[in-house]
Structure 1
Amino acid sequence: MTPFILPTSDKDFAEQLIRQNMSGYYDQLDMHWDSALFDSEWRTLESYQLVINAHPVGLLCINQDTEACYIRELQIAPQWRRQGLGTAAIHYTVDRARKLGIDTLRLRVFCINPAVALYERMGFHIRKTEDNTHYMQRRIF
C-alpha cells in the first residue's frame, strides 16, 4: 500500500501517535515523556503525515546537516503496520536526501523495538549501541 506523504504542522497528531506507539518502550526502559523537549524539537523538523484514504495513519520527521539526513521519527498507527508504510516512508526519505545531495541516512531506535528488523532489511546497519539505543546508518547510492 502506498500512502500519500504530505507536509504537516499537526503537532497534536504527531505527539499523540508518538506517545501511543512509544509508551510501552518508555515503560520498559523507565523513561518519561518530555513535552517541552518534544515542542522544541518539533520546530526543527520537516514533518510529514502518511495518509491513506484521506486519514493520517503515520508520521515521518526528518532533518539534515552536511553529513547526513536523519529520520527523527517514523511512526505508524498500530492497525496500519506491516503494510509497507514504513518502507514507503524510508524510500521517500532516500529520495529527499538524494535531491539534497546527501548520501547517508541515519536514525536511532530502541534496541527492543522490532522496527530494527525493518531498518536492517532496508540496508541500515548498527554503527553503535548506547543506553538501550541503536544508532543506525545506511549509504545512499
Structure 2
Amino acid sequence: MKLIPATDDHRTFARDLTRRAMLPYYREFDLLWIEEAFDQAWGWREQWLIVEGESVLGFCSLSQDRQALFIRELHLLPEYRGRGVGSWVLGQLADWAGQRRLPLLRLMVFKSNPARQLYRRNGFVEMGEDECFVRMQRVTGGCR
C-alpha cells in the first residue's frame, strides 16, 4: 500500500466517498452536507489517495498547524474496511507527523461512528467532545 498525492481529477471520487460515508451522521446530528464546502477545502488541504497496485482503496485529507497534523477526512471504500487498511494509514500519518517534527496527530470523529474504536486501537485518546464530535489525538514522537 502507499499514499499518493490526489489531484483535482480525484475530487469527485473523494467528495462522493466522503458524502456516502458521512451522510448518515449528518442526518443523525441534523447537520447539512454542503458540496461547496468540500470543494473549497479541497484547495487548501493536502489530499492523498490510498492505493494498492492499480486499486484506489480510499483517500485522506490533511492540514497542519505548528504542533499537529490534522486528519480532516479518512475514508475507505466499503470493500476495504476491516482489513487493516485504516490502521496502516494511521501509522503512516503518525510517521509523517513525526518527520514534520509535529508532536501530535489529531482528528475529530462523530460520536456514534464505530471508527472511534479503530482510533483507540491505534493509540488515539479522547480529548473532549461536543454535541456531535469527539476530539482525539495521538502523540507521534515528533519534536518541535
Superposed displacement of residue 131, structure 1: 2.2
Structure 1 segments unaligned to the other structure (5+ residues): none
- CA–CA distance in 1 between the matches of 2:14 and 2:37? 14
Superposed displacement of residue 120, structure 1: 0.6
Superposed displacement of residue 5, structure 1: 1.4
Q: Is the 8 A contact 2:72 2:107 kept in 1?
A: yes
Superposed displacement of residue 102, structure 1: 0.6
Structure 2 segments unaligned to the other structure (5+ residues): none
Superposed displacement of residue 84, structure 1: 0.8
Residue 22 (structure 1) aligns with: 22
Partner of 2:88, secondary structure, is helix
- CA–CA distance in 2 between the matches of 1:101 and 1:29? 36
Deviating more after overlay: 109-118 vs 40-49: 40-49
Deviations 1:66-120 (A, max 9, x none): 0211011110111110011111111111111111111111100000000000001
- CA–CA distance in 2 between the matches of 1:69 and 1:4? 18
Q: Is 1:75 aligned to residue 75 of structure 2?
A: yes
TM-score, normalisation: structure 2 = 0.92
Residue 125 (structure 2) aligns with: 125
Residue 41 (structure 1) aligns with: 41
State the AA in 2 paired with 1:89.
V
Q: Percent identity?
A: 32
Match 2:4 to one of 6, 9, 15:
6
Deviating more after overlay: 68-77 vs 48-57: 48-57
Stretches of 4+ aligned residues off by more than 2 angstroms: none
Q: Is the 8 A contact 2:3 2:49 kept in 1?
A: yes
Residue 112 (structure 1) aligns with: 112
Residue 31 (structure 1) aligns with: 31
TM-score, normalisation: structure 1 = 0.93
Superposed displacement of residue 53, structure 1: 3.5
Residue 54 (structure 1) aligns with: 54
Deviating more after overlay: 104-113 vs 90-99: 90-99
- CA–CA distance in 1 between the matches of 2:80 and 2:43? 27
Superposed displacement of residue 52, structure 1: 2.7
